[in-house]
């Protein structure tokens, strides 16, 4: 007998479609697990139990004809993502009572795809850090080891999926914020190509760095969520590349072409940062699996180097200048205040010069790796980090530099706009270790096919932390 949360999101959708399972049953099962374990792993800021029950009832009463692909399947929305009528704090005590009047496009699209949101997942304050430890919720903890962070800024989303509190969850990634938590928690985190998923209806595109993306247990579930989110919307600042034939899930399920893969382990944003042997070893495992599947794997130089960091950090400081009511500034965390102070000191000519110099670096890196279909590298320079380890010095400048050294790979691919996915391939000390696969701009389908093939080859399978089997539980009809 399998627990309901053993089923993947796609398996749940199939069971609902065949009326072997109801959305209401799934929602109650997950709400019970959230009640039991949500605070333990710091997954949720706000749980919308009554709203979820109402939506699940409506889903179960809907006629079979015309049901969308993910009809009735539970999910959760990152607390950085506006949701109409639902408290959205942006991870900050400065917005503890804020209720948006409108949805981000991605929220409306996931609802249109049939999913039922159970609430808002924990995030870092204004999305500025790679850990999720703020004032509005318990810290997001790794379900594999509660002393360790679940990452950020989509830390609560990853904690929820890894602990079996939702089958998949919406995240967003402006410098690794989907892929970092996925790597830490043994999940698949996919950052789409620039323009694939709308960031609207508000904002200017944030220089093309951030994008919504899925966090899931399997590549197929991530692709299915991407299909739901990847609907072109009018007025977006970046043109959406053409989707693969049949959509992203179909691409993930196809046998893709044999590819040329460039592998490297040199940290790009911190050249003097040593790479943990477990992270380098994970690249070896992935490279061997790809080569055994017939792909050509070649050692290459990293596409960009530490010279990109001074440019990226200026952009990151400016992006921290999200509007905050002046009377609430004192509620912000020390790191957020530091970044906003530095952002406010950036002049318009300095910003324009930085954007120009950054684009020069992008052209150089993209031309150097143009002969490769995929790039393979570690997701992180170390497998895990303890809760509180970045802030324990009390120095926000040191905190920020420690984050750069811990994650010197992911942010480069936000700058280039390439699709990039972290997926688990091994363990170290009982904790997951992931690798980063990155594709050509717009070739998200090719990347998903390769990731699914690698996922199958390394046999990560249904590995789960101990909390996965903790009560309460229920069973599927004879499954």
Q: Which residues touch 360 (CB under 8 Å, ≥6 apart)? A: none
User: Catalytic one among 117, 124, 132, 153?
Assistant: 153
User: Catalytic one among 129, 172, 177, 302?
Assistant: 177
User: Catalytic one among 78, 120, 193, 407?
Assistant: 78
Burial degree of 22 (CB within 10 A; 0-12, 13-18, 19+) = middle
Residue 135 among the catalytic residues? no
For 36, the token pair is 């039991």
Phi–psi pair at 262, nearest 5 degrees: -95, 120
Omega cis (within 30) before 201: yes
Cα-based angle 132, 133, 139 (whole degrees, multiple of 5): 90
Residue 177 among the catalytic residues? yes
Which regions of 105-207 does DSSP assign to beta strands (E)? 116-121, 141-142, 145-149, 168-173, 188-191
Residue 78 among the catalytic residues? yes
Tell the residue number behind the tokens 């919406």, with chain if given.
170
Q: b/e map of 224-236 (b: 16 or more CB within 10 Å)?
A: bbbbbbbbeeeeb
Tell me the chain's radius of gyration from C-alpha atoms.
21
Burial degree of 25 (CB within 10 A; 0-12, 13-18, 19+) = buried
The set of catalytic residues is: 78, 153, 177
């Amino acid at each position: 007998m399998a627990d309901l949360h053993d089923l993947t999101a796609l398996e749940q959708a199939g069971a609902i479609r065949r009326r072997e399972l109801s959305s209401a049953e799934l929602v109650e099962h997950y709400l019970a697990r959230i009640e039991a374990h949500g605070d333990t792993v710091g997954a949720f800021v706000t749980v919308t139990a009554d709203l979820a029950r109402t939506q699940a009832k409506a889903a179960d009463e809907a006629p079979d004809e015309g049901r969308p692909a993910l009809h009735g399947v539970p999910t959760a929305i990152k607390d950085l993502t506006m949701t109409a009528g639902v408290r959205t704090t942006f991870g900050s005590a400065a917005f503890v009572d804020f209720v948006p009047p409108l949805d981000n496009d991605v929220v409306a699209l996931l609802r249109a795809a049939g999913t039922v949101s159970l609430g808002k997942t924990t995030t870092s304050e204004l999305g500025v850090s790679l850990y999720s430890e703020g004032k509005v919720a318990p810290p997001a903890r790794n379900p594999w080891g509660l002393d360790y962070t679940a990452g950020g800024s989509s830390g609560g989303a990853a904690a929820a999926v890894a602990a079996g509190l939702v089958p998949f969850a919406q995240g967003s990634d402006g410098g690794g914020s989907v892929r970092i938590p996925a790597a830490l928690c043994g999940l698949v985190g996919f950052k789409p190509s620039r323009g694939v998923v709308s960031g609207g209806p508000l904002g200017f595109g944030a220089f093309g760095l951030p994008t919504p993306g899925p966090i899931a247990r399997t590549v197929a579930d991530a692709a299915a969520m991407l299909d739901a989110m990847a609907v072109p919307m009018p007025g977006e600042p970046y043109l959406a590349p053409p989707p693969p034939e049949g959509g992203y899930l179909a691409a993930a399920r196809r046998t893709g072409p044999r590819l040329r893969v460039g592998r490297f382990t040199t940290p790009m944003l911190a050249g003097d940062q040593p790479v943990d042997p477990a992270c380098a070893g994970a690249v070896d495992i992935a490279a061997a699996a790809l080569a055994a599947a017939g792909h050509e794997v070649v050692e290459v130089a990293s596409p960009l180097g530490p010279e990109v960091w001074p440019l990226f950090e200026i952009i990151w400081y400016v992006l921290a200048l999200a509007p905050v009511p002046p009377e609430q500034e004192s509620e912000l965390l020390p790191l957020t205040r530091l970044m906003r102070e530095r952002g406010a000191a950036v002049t318009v000519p300095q910003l324009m010069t930085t954007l120009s110099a950054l684009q020069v670096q992008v052209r150089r890196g993209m031309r150097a790796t143009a002969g490769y279909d995929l790039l393979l590298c570690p997701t992180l320079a170390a497998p895990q980090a303890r809760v509180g380890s970045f802030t324990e010095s009390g120095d926000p400048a040191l905190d920020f530099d420690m984050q750069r050294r811990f994650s010197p790979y992911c942010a480069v691919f936000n700058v280039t706009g390439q699709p990039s996915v972290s997926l688990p391939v091994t363990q170290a000390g009982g904790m997951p270790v992931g690798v980063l696969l990155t594709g050509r701009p717009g070739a998200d389908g090719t990347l998903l096919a390769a990731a699914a093939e690698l996922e199958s080859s390394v046999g990560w399978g249904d590995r789960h932390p101990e909390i996965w089997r903790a009560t309460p539980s229920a069973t599927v009809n004879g499954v």
